[in-house]
Amino acid sequence: MNIVIAGGGYAGLMTALRLAGRTNGADITLVDVKDHFAQRIRNHQAAAGASIRAIPYAKLFRGTRIQFVQGQIESLDAGACRLHVRTGPITRALPYDLLVNALGSFTDVDSTPGVKAYALTLDGRHSKLLRETLMQANQQAGQVLIVGGGLTGIETVTELAQAYPRARMHLVTSGVLGEALSVAGQATLDRVFSRHNIRLTQGRRVVQLDSDAALLDDGSRIPFDVCVWAGAFVASPLAREAGLSVNARGQMLVDETLRSVSHPAIIGVGDNAQFIGSSPERAPIRMACATAMPMGAHAADVIASLLNGTQPAPFGFGYMLRCISLGRGDALVQFVAADDSPGPRILTGRGGAWVKELICRFTVWALWAERRIPGLYTWKGRLTGTKRIAEAAHGPHRRSI
């Protein structure tokens, strides 16, 4: 069996490392355009000048059965089961029996005119330019506009406000800041924004960017020296272009075992996949590292089952926390129910920052641990999936006597 994993982010790496230690008979190849794992959840820290450790794939895969191919994945021929990968001037076809699509997401810069030309994003490739531009804005006490009031926008504006105190920060969001948080969580954001003198414009959509100003849907303009676009993420275009069933954000639609609903030889994990649970009340899986790693791990378990000829368990998942850094030394930890709805409890300040940092470190630690002890990684709600299979086979109320 020839298994190809496209993308070596949180989800793809977790699949590869978990699978490598549990299957002897399969060839496992991971393809990524970079030669290292980048900690994307720390990209706002990189924009603020922090040096973030990159982990070479060569180091992570040493001593495992994972083959690494460095190259840009250009297209997928789902009918012929081939991935087209360009390395330098050469494009080659990589055949697969099972493909794991873990190509993640990136900031949508196409939906609003001017964004591609005049804004920078937190996607990693802008890191150096972003840092240099922000340093300059700081020296000149310039205006920095952050567009997007989701978790990424909040983490970014607070991090930048602390790192570049002379620059004037302004965040604009089409919604309400922190609308998915509890009242106490929202009050924390208000306090931190006023402590850092961050200007906030809520309920207004940016409809166009010019070189020095954003035009809003009420006709007003916000001038800027630097614009950081932290709007919605969209999935890698590969699945849509290959004709797989996808949603409006380009995420491939996957069933309970994370297999494409249109092409079952392709498994989707992480930001690139939207899980269609069998129960209508199930909350959608957010694009997050917190969901990418469980999906990656579950994909490995599904493949192991397929190789062993057993029935793969459905994916089970429950949320626990939303962790939002608010600059160094401060964070908001919002405790949530399994369906991601906020509860009354929060943790803030140094305690919150400590939890957030631990979680960021845990993501890397979990990958190394999985490499050593495959199958170790687990998550909340994992067994719910297994339970559903048992219920389907025996009925929900059956008891042994």
Site of interaction with ligand FAD (CB under 6 A): 7-12, 31-34, 40-41, 43-44, 72-73, 102-104, 122, 152, 155, 236, 270-272, 287-290, 292, 323
Q: Which amino acid is at 299?
A: A
Least distance in Å: CB of 8 to ligand FAD? Answer: 5
HEC per residue, 188-225: HHHHHHHHCCCEEEECCCEEEECCCEEEECCCCEEECC
Least distance in Å: CB of 395 to ligand FAD? Answer: 36
Residue least distant from ligand FAD (Cβ): 9
Please state, in angstroms and as integers, the Cα–Cα distance from residue 86 to each residue in 2, 70, 394, following that order.
Answer: 19, 9, 49
Q: Which is nearer to ligand FAD, 40 or 259 (CB)?
A: 40
- Please check whether residue 151 is in contact with residue 44, taking contact to mean a CB–CB distance below 8 angstroms: no
Least distance in Å: CB of 111 to ligand FAD? Answer: 17
Least distance in Å: CB of 47 to ligand FAD? Answer: 8
Q: Which is nearer to ligand FAD, 122 or 254 (CB)?
A: 122
Least distance in Å: CB of 2 to ligand FAD? Answer: 18
Least distance in Å: CB of 291 to ligand FAD? Answer: 7
Q: Which is nearer to ligand FAD, 173 or 388 (CB)?
A: 173
Query: DSSP for 24-88?
Result: SS-EEEEEESSSEE--GGGHHHHHTTPPPPPEEHHHHHTTSSEEEEESEEEEEETTTTEEEEEET
CB atoms within 10 A of CB 30: 26
Q: Which is nearer to ligand FAD, 215 or 235 (CB)?
A: 235
148 — alpha (psi -120 to 50), left (phi > 0) or beta?
left
Please state, in angstroms and as integers, the Cα–Cα distance from residue 234 to each residue in 14, 120, 206, following that order.
Answer: 21, 16, 18
- Please check whether residue 180 is in contact with residue 339, taking contact to mean a CB–CB distance below 8 angstroms: no
Q: Which is nearer to ligand FAD, 26 or 252 (CB)?
A: 252
Q: Which is nearer to ligand FAD, 177 or 216 (CB)?
A: 177
Q: Which is nearer to ligand FAD, 352 or 388 (CB)?
A: 352
Nearest 5°: phi and psi at 365? Answer: -60, -40
